[in-house]
Amino acid sequence: MEIFGYLASVLIGVSLGLIGGGGSILTVPVLVYLLGVDPVPATAYSLFIVGLTSAIGSYTYFKTNLVNIRTAIVFGIPSIAAVFATRAYIVPAIPDQVLSLGNLVITKSILLMLLFAVLMIAASWSMIKKDSPKPGDLSGAGVQKFNYPLILLEGTVVGILTGMVGAGGGFLIIPALVILSKLPMKEAVGTSLVIIAAKSLIGFFGESGDTPINWKLIGIVSAMAIIGILIGSSLSKKIDGKKLKPAFGWFVLVMGIYIIIKELI
């Protein structure tokens, strides 16, 4: 099972490199179900793995000038603050037993996995549905204008979700950058990777000192994911990631439903 876990870690990077997102949604299930990590530290480990992998993945976008630094700062500041606060204060404050309904006891670990499953289902829908953007949304022409109230709200919400479940939230960030910041899609993907890298790594280092950190495990999974993103980036030159995105979305949907059933039954 451990070998399967490390092999699955490669898929985290491949999906990031090939379709520009979605890979982080696999990290927690791989850590919990294949590598036997408890859900609470798994969400912390995921922040480091996703952050480091996204940082390396963003290098190619930097080289081709597909990262909008101004947008990354405007969107990233509220997101980074929210994920740091969530890991430092909100997650440690959740009681070990959250709710009890007869024989059903919702623990902190179960709550985080259920929240993660809901996020997976939302992410799968964004990957399965056909994109029909308005031409104006993708043009990137003219002077860039920021909808600051919405960007602040979106950045904060994404930061809280990232802090709670350890996923990068690229499926939320990319549409926000396209619609609210008027970025072209490729530039939105590159900018999203930078935002994910910054908020995930800073969120990890804001982790409560009570969380045990297995650096050996984190290092191996990160290395495998990095290998995956290099493979995915190479494949993206030969394979259209958009064609694979719906299939990956269905896979994520099935996994999300499986997690809900497994945790509740």
Q: What is the pLDDT of residues 159-212, one digit of tens each?
A: 888 888 877 677 778 777 887 777 887 788 888 888 888 888 888 887 756 778
Q: Which of 223, 132, 122 is nearest to 169 (CA)?
A: 122
For residue 65, count other CB atoms closer than 10 A to its CB: 9
Phi, psi (deg, nearest 5) at residue 211 = -80, 120
Look up residue 195 and give its two tokens.
Answer: 């935002």
The pLDDT of residue 59 is 85
Look up residue 213 and give its two tokens.
Answer: 């950190």
150-164 pLDDT per residue, tens: 888 888 888 888 888
Give the whole-angstrom CA distance, residue 35 versus residue 194: 27
Residue with tokens 């990160």, as numbered in its chain: 222
Residue 13 near residue 227 (C-beta atoms within 8 A):
yes
The pLDDT of residue 134 is 47
Structural domain harbouring 89: 2-264
The pLDDT of residue 238 is 76
What is the number of structural domains in the chain?
A: 1
246-263 pLDDT per residue, tens: 887 888 889 889 999 988
Pairwise pLDDT comparison (209 vs 221), residue with the higher score: 221
Phi, psi (deg, nearest 5) at residue 181 = -110, 0
Average of per-residue pLDDT across 239-243? 69
The 8-class DSSP code of residue 31 comes to: I
34-52 pLDDT per residue, tens: 999 998 888 889 889 988 9
Q: Which of 160, 172, 15, 180 is nearest to 78 (CA)?
A: 160
Highest mean pLDDT among 125-134, 151-160, 228-237: 151-160
